[in-house]
């Protein structure tokens, strides 16, 4: 894995991975209220509804969300990445490990550059050193892990 500091949304990549939780509200939308999840919901109207449907049908797991175009014309191939069961919880390192395994299976080799933030380390409350130790052996150099400074 390659570590970088910068704006997650402006980092070039074949796919961008959004850290999420497994809560679907009464309107059928995934709760995406903070961090990269909120940024994604604001950039891509309807993403929370799609993810809510996928979670309801298939559970709180990694989901390929398809291609989405921002208002500025930039296109992103998006994947969800559960770090929490409930939005109120702290991130769960075991869920992160499971999500890493699922992400590797969901991302075909044609996706050469996969951009993600440090999973569970923002609003999830985990320390990067702990998460890095748990996931580094699974991620090759096609994964770019961002220390995201954009809010």
Please identify which residue in the block is written with the tokens 């559960």: 82
**pLDDT over 60 at 150, yes or no:** no
pLDDT of residue 122: 84
Residue 71's pLDDT is what? 80
Report CA 60 to chain centroid distance, whole Å: 12
pLDDT at site 124: 87
Neighbours of 12 (CB within 10 A): 7
Average pLDDT on 126-139 reads 90
pLDDT at position 2 is: 92
User: In sequence order, what are the beta bridge partners of 80?
Assistant: 18
Q: Is residue 107 pLDDT above 60, yes or no?
A: yes
Please write down the long-range contacts of 34-41, taking CB distance under 8 Å and 24 or more positions apart: 34/87, 34/122, 34/123, 35/117, 35/122, 35/123, 36/8, 36/117, 36/122, 36/148, 39/8, 39/9, 39/150, 40/78
Contact between 106 and 79 (Cβ < 8 Å): yes
Q: For the segment 110-127, what is each residue's pLDDT rounded down to a tens digit? A: 899 999 999 989 888 888
Q: What distance in Å separates the CA atoms of residue 38 and residue 31, rounded to the nearest whole number? A: 9
CB-side neighbour CA atoms (13 Å) of 104: 13
Average pLDDT of the segment spanning 15-40? 94
Domains and CATH numbers, the chain: 2-148 (3.40.220.10)
pLDDT of 151 > 50? The answer is no
- Whole-number pLDDT of residue 149: 62
What would the pLDDT profile of 37-96 be if each residue is shown by its tens digit? Answer: 999 999 999 999 999 999 999 999 999 999 998 888 888 899 999 999 989 899 999 999
């Amino acid at each position: 894995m390659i570590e970088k500091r910068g704006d997650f949304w402006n980092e070039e990549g074949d796919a961008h991975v959004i850290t999420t939780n497994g809560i679907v509200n009464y309107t059928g939308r995934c709760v995406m209220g903070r961090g990269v999840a909120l940024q994604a919901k604001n950039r891509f109207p309807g993403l929370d509804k799609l993810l809510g449907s996928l979670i309801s049908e298939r559970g709180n797991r990694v989901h390929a969300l398809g291609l989405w175009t921002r208002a500025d014309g930039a296109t992103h191939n998006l994947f969800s990445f559960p770090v929490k069961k409930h939005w109120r919880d702290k991130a769960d390192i075991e869920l992160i490990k499971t999500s890493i395994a699922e992400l590797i299976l969901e991302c075909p080799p044609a996706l050469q550059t996969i951009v993600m933030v440090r999973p569970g380390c923002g609003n999830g409350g985990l320390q990067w050193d702990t998460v890095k130790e748990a996931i580094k052996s699974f991620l090759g150099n096609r994964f770019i892990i961002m220390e995201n400074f954009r809010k």
